[in-house]
């Protein structure tokens, strides 16, 4: 399908990868910045006489709505991505994220427009969810179809590193706002700055993506008139059920690494091990930075050793690192920051995961296949993971995060070995028998 004579990245490939990673980082920043200001949003967008716990619950409900909207947005954009082009959907996803983020920063509060304020906030959050549902699988498909097959791991790992850098960027901007202005000033107006900046960042990403070109794979499909007709998702579900299940299992491992280790752990260590909030925040930033580095390293390893082997080794490493982190907290908490940073590096195995999913589906339905499996699995596991882990801890098991990550990694190992078996079977089928 691709006519690329060598395994080196051309200057065009490098530019495509850098622009895609930068746009992904800015878009993920837009999606995640909401969580850093939930306490402020709860005060401003709901009635002042509402109980605090109920305001917080409804605010987190609005945040969760973004995850629930991901499958629908991803499926719709993937449909058109397989039918009319990857680039158009790649630009639409970042625009669909930038505009709602900017509007959030300009939105009147409950004091000004009453119940319309949280309703508008919910609608904007749903649009954000739809955008990120198309962005992540679309970005993986876009870069993987631009580079040589032998550098696909590096490309997907670098792109995933860019996406996770958006989390770190959101944390840094939130820290800047909260340390530069007093709580009253943040509540009055400064909370709007991260959202307005996010909207401007998103517009910059839209402008940058104008310089990207359609993928050679899609252009070849169009030239040969091999673009899928009808509903790509129907073809995915009818003929590629195994690939969907494998992709959903490996997405569960990705979710456990990001949600449990990166997003939940800073809060859990404060309640379970009395770690100071400042220490938890510093360690979280280092772990997230290590995650960004790890995504690239695991992507490089995919190109050298094969995606299935890397995923199995990375899954085992992630379980051991997570277990070591919580053991360190119990017996040697002074080494928490170092242990957390090392664990963040192993969460970087998520950078190898898209390579498995890209290879799981043929090009004509690749966008739809990845988008459906990834977004549905993430919506389910992303929504249930915090609940399961929290209830497990409340039941008296402080090592619940470790056990949950281990279960998800076992699912990832099953997916990798299943994919490996399929590759070996295909190779044997292609080998001519000897007379």
- Residue 182: count other Cβ atoms within 10 Å of its Cβ: 10
Helices vs strands, H then E, count in the chain: 20, 0
Cα distances (angstroms) measured from residue 219 to each of 3, 87, 280, 355: 12, 11, 48, 21
Query: Comparing 9-227 with 231-428, is the CATH topology the same?
Result: yes
At residue 185, the pLDDT reads: 92
What are the residue ranges spanned by the domains of the chain? Answer: 9-227, 231-428
Do residues 427 and 419 touch, judged by C-beta distance below 8 A? no
The angle, 0 to 180 degrees and rounded to 10, between the axes of the packed helices 11-32 and 86-106 is 30
Helix (H) or strand (E) holding 62: helix 52-68
- Provide the 8-state DSSP code for 181: S
At residue 426, the pLDDT reads: 44
At residue 7, the pLDDT reads: 64
Do residues 195 and 44 touch, judged by C-beta distance below 8 A? no
Helical residues (DSSP H) of 145-264, grouped into ranges: 152-180, 183-185, 192-209, 216-223, 232-239, 241-255
Distance CA 200, CA 203 (A): 5
Distance CA 24, CA 205 (A): 8
For domain 9-227, the CATH class is mainly alpha
Cα distances (angstroms) measured from residue 187 to each of 109, 219, 299, 325: 11, 50, 42, 36
- The tokens of 228 are what? 């899928």
Residue 298: which of 358, 359, 343, 351 has the closest Cα?
351
Rounded average pLDDT per 10-residue block, the chain, 435 residues: 56 82 82 82 86 75 80 89 87 88 94 92 90 88 90 93 89 88 91 92 83 87 85 91 95 93 88 87 92 96 95 98 96 95 97 95 93 92 83 90 97 93 54 45
At residue 423, the pLDDT reads: 58
At residue 422, the pLDDT reads: 59
**Does the domain spanning 231-428 belong to CATH 1.20.1250.20?**
yes
At residue 428, the pLDDT reads: 54
At residue 419, the pLDDT reads: 87
């Amino acid at each position: 399908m691709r006519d690329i004579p060598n395994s080196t990245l051309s200057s065009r490939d490098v530019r495509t990868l850098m622009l895609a990673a930068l746009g992904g980082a800015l878009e993920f920043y837009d999606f995640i910045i909401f969580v850093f200001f939930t306490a402020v949003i709860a005060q401003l967008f709901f009635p002042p006489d509402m109980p605090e716990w109920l305001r917080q619950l409804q605010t987190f409900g609005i945040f969760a709505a973004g995850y629930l909207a991901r499958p629908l947005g991803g499926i719709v954009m993937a449909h058109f991505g397989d039918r009319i082009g990857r680039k158009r959907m790649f630009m639409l996803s970042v625009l669909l994220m930038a505009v709602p983020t900017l509007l959030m920063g300009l939105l009147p509060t409950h004091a000004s427009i009453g119940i319309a304020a949280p309703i508008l906030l919910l609608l904007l959050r749903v649009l954000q969810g739809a955008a990120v549902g198309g962005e992540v699988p679309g970005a993986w498909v876009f870069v993987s179809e631009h580079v040589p097959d032998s550098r696909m791991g590096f490309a997907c790992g670098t792109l995933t590193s860019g996406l996770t850098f958006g989390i770190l960027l959101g944390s840094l901007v939130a820290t800047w706002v909260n340390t530069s202005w007093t709580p009253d000033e943040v509540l009055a107006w400064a909370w709007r700055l991260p959202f307005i900046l996010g909207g401007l960042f998103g517009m910059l990403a839209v402008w940058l993506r104008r310089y990207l070109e359609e993928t050679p794979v899609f252009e070849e499909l169009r030239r040969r008139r091999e673009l899928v007709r009808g509903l790509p998702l129907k073809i995915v579900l009818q003929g590629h059920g195994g690939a969907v299940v494998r992709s959903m299992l490996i997405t569960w491992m990705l979710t456990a690494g990001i949600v449990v280790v990166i997003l939940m752990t800073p809060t859990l260590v404060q309640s379970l091990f009395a770690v100071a909030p400042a220490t938890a925040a510093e360690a979280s930033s280092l772990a997230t930075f290590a995650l960004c580095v790890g995504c690239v390293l695991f992507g490089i390893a995919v190109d050298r050793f094969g995606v299935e082997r890397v995923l199995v080794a990375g899954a085992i490493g992630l379980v051991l690192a997570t277990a070591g982190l919580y053991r360190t907290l119990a017996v040697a908490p002074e080494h928490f920051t170092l242990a957390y940073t090392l664990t963040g590096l192993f969460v970087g195995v998520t950078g190898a995961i898209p390579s498995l999913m890209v290879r799981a589906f043929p090009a004509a339905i690749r966008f739809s296949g990845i988008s459906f499996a990834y977004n549905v699995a993430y919506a389910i596991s992303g929504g249930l993971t915090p609940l399961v882990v929290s209830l497990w801890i409340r039941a008296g098991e402080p090592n619940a995060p470790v056990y949950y990550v281990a279960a998800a990694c076992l699912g990832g190992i099953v997916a990798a070995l299943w994919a490996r078996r399929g590759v070996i079977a295909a190779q044997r089928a292609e080998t001519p028998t000897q007379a």
